[in-house]
Structure 1
Amino acid sequence: MIATNSSFEFTLPRALEATEPPEQRGQGRDDVRLLVSQRSSGKIEHRRFSDLLALGFQRAVLHLARRLSDTEWIAELRHAEPDSLRTTPWLDARAGTEIALRGGGRAVLVRPAVDSEVARLWVLQVTLELSADEYLMRWGRPIVYGHITKSRPLSAYQTVFADVPGSAEMPSAARPFTADLVTRLLVKGVDLAPIVLHCGVSSLEAHEPPQPEPFEVPPDTAQRVNAAIRVGGRVIAVGTTCVRALESSAVGPGLVLPSSGLTNLVVDAAYTPRVTTGLLTGWHEPMASHLAMVEAFAGRRLLEVSYRAALDAGYLWHEFGDSHLILP
């Protein structure tokens, strides 16, 4: 979703794919594992996510959490498999095709959202009897990938920061945060500054460029980020989507202006972050585009060392898995 593909390759064992939330594994949300890697020293530590309290943060920027409008959406087209959570890509769709939606709605395929030979994402003209938010709350369900074996309620895919509707997927890097952990971080003096970026479909194919995504960096957030930078504090982005929003609002090294709109920013290994000094993220699949962004913060050597350490130690992958904190 964020960057061009890195050549970094590895094999992910099926046993390390988290198929259920930690709550179903007898853990709390914030009891997942946390690997902390530091670029300047090359040091790696194995922690628990709740150990964020012990890491001496001075500032952190959290991503809270697509449709174009109530009547025009971008959607991924897939066929549902009978009696299964699994779906298969619908790759032979044609403009003008009308789709009957549950609850009396309908959608008409307008045009492919991506200029490519195989159209997976389409712009739809949607007609509903309810508002878009009401319709999605009643009839929508979370995106389910192949490693998930059981349907989960929407609450399993919400973060403690969820506020503004609009994301197609959960900003999963923030999932381990709990209200109690956030309160303790605030008491300790960590400044949690909100950013809104509506996550699109993050599982892009190799031929697909990054999609524009709506974002907002409010004036108060911009002021707090700039203040942290002035006093030498760390600005830690929670999630790759947060990096995209924050860096899109940067007008130079160490300076953020309030902004909103659509971001087309690509952050890859060749990109030098202008305001973001660290990244809290999950563990990404082999050849995933997100790895190129991780490399922008970790560098190639630390990226490889960190992933090897996570594999050797049995860290869990995907949205219900463990976390990775990259510090400067």
Structure 2
Amino acid sequence: MTPTTLLAQDDDCDHDGGSGFDFTVPPELSAHAPAEARGLTRDGVRMLVGHGDPVRAEHRSFADLPNVLAPGDLLVVNNSATLPAALPATLPDGRPVVLHLSGAHPDPRGAHLVELRRPAGAAGGAAEYLAPADSPAEPGLRLRLPAGGEAVLTAPYTARLWHARLTTPGPLTGYLARYGKAIRYGYVDRDWPISAYQTVFAAEPGSSEMPSAARPFTPQLVSALVARGILIAPITLHTGVASPEAHEAPYAEWFRVPAATARLVEHVRGSGGRVVAVGTTAVRALESAVGPDGRARAAEGWTDLVITPERGVRLVDGLLTGWHEPEASHLLMLEAVAGRPLLDLCYAQALAGRYLWHEFGDVNLLLPGAR
């Protein structure tokens, strides 16, 4: 794809002037299927590159990434693998429900977060959102799971999510592999195998939903990046269950930043390179590993960090991410990284250019600083 560049204009910012974002994503801009099912390679999706100084945007293919970044830049990628975290369940009265499990790791109290959803109708489709008033969830509710498994709800976490104690025959990841399937929302056209939800970096099973910013990477593209002198380092952050209907603020997720990654982040920062997070999960993990001296350090555990423009970022110079709905709290993180003028330009150009949203869609590379 031949790159095109657009400069920001003062009147390109179409929002209410507050902290909210005011735009509408037409339904036809949802990516209904993986790129491969649409006749593309994974790295054939579109990439809108937003630059700062001056604020401008380029329309490119993701396969151009080695030519957009510079030798010495560092990509920080999430190596969490996606679990088939949607399980069929049965209420005590025999009614079926679908249980979405939020991450493989129980919290320090031994509980998981779960969401109950209504099974798809006779025509198929995705499990449907249950508004709190319609949900059977209550303390002490016992749900039967396949092969003698059980989930017992203990207390609400939000109106949508509940703490639950799970009992499964054998290790949880193996149990999910046998009886679960990938979490799917209504904009996806059918059930796709769990392999469609894995990135090339997936190594540590634990995410309820795919760390999708890394989905367009292929082994060939990774080789091209390395050959150009662009560095790649892993973190792990196991994603929870998204809230496409409720638009809740982020909640605690388990993460790890290895010592080697922390050292490489500091090396790149000290040598003038850019630290580019691949996905909001990588931003959250890195920014949760900032020491009192402002430097990256090894860290592991649960993070409830919420990144806003007021908090800002300390280690991240750029971000590769998907496209987010106007109500999504992730947009505050994007604004913290890129600033509002660049973000407004990118979203205006993405809508005008008919970019595709959601986990199988196109991507946005935000590079606000000069290089």
TM-score range, shorter chain: over 0.9
Unaligned ranges ≥5, structure 2: 1-17, 81-102
Please say which of residues 157-166 and 78-87 is displaced more in the overlay.
78-87
C-alpha distance in 2 between matches for 1:11 and 1:72: 37
Aligned-pair distance for 1:139? 1.1
State the distance in 1 between where 2:36 and 2:149 align: 35
Match of 2:306 in 1: 266
Distance 1:271 1:39, change over 3 A: farther
Structure 1: how far apart are the matches of 2:248 and 2:330? 13
Letter in 1 for 2:75: A
Q: What is the match of residue 114 of structure 2?
A: 75
**Superposed, which structure 2 residues align to 1:1-328 within 5 Å?**
6-57=19-70, 58-65=73-80, 66-69=103-106, 72-83=111-122, 84-86=124-126, 87-89=128-130, 91-114=135-158, 119-203=159-243, 208-251=248-291, 255-327=295-367, 328=369
TM-score w.r.t. the length of structure 1 is: 0.93
Deviation at 1:68, TM superposition (A): 3.7
* In structure 2, C-alpha distance between the alignment counterparts of 1:287 and 1:207, rounded to whole Å: 6
Supply the distance in 1 between the matched residues of 2:120 and 2:61 (Cα, whole angstroms). Answer: 38
2:249–2:329 Cα contact (<8 Å) kept: no
Could you tell me which amino acid in structure 1 is paired with residue 32 of structure 2?
Answer: T
Asked whether the 8 Å contact 1:44–1:306 carries over to 2, the reply is yes
Change (3 A) 1:253 1:177: farther
Structure with the bigger RCO (C-alpha within 8 Å, sep 6+) is 1
Which amino acid counterpart does residue 129 of structure 2 have in structure 1? Answer: T
Moved more, 248-257 or 236-245: 248-257
Q: Report the alpha carbon displacement of residue 17 of structure 1 after superposing the two structures with TM.
A: 0.9
Query: Aligned partners of 1:199 and 1:288: how far apart in 2?
Result: 15
Provide the rounded CA distance (Å) in 2 between the counterparts of 1:243 and 1:195. 10
CA distance in 1, matches of 2:212, 2:112: 22
Of all paired residues, the percent bearing the same amino acid is: 47
Task: Look up the SS of the partner of 2:165 in the other structure.
Answer: strand
SS at structure 2 position matched to 1:129: coil
Cα distance, 1:202 vs structure 2: 2.3
Q: Deviations over 1:135-179 (max 9, x none)?
A: 011111111112112110001111111111111110000000011
Deviation by residue 1:243-286 (Cα, 9 ceiling, x = unmatched): 00000101257610101111111111222210100000001112
Deviates further, 229-238 or 51-60: 51-60
Does the aligned pair in 1 maintain the 2:248–2:329 contact within 8 Å? no
Q: Is the partner of 1:88 in helix, strand or coil?
A: coil
Q: CA deviation at 1:81?
A: 2.7
Q: Could you tell which deviates more after superposition, 286-295 or 26-35?
A: 286-295
Is contact 1:75-1:123 (8 Å) kept?
yes
Q: Is the 8 A contact 1:6 1:289 kept in 2?
A: no
The whole-number CA distance in structure 1 between the counterparts of 2:199 and 2:48 is: 20
CA contact (8 A) 1:39 1:299 kept: no
Structure 1 residue runs of 5 or longer lacking an equivalent are none
Aligned length: 320
> Is the contact between residue 237 and residue 279 of structure 1 (CA under 8 Å) also seen in structure 2?
yes
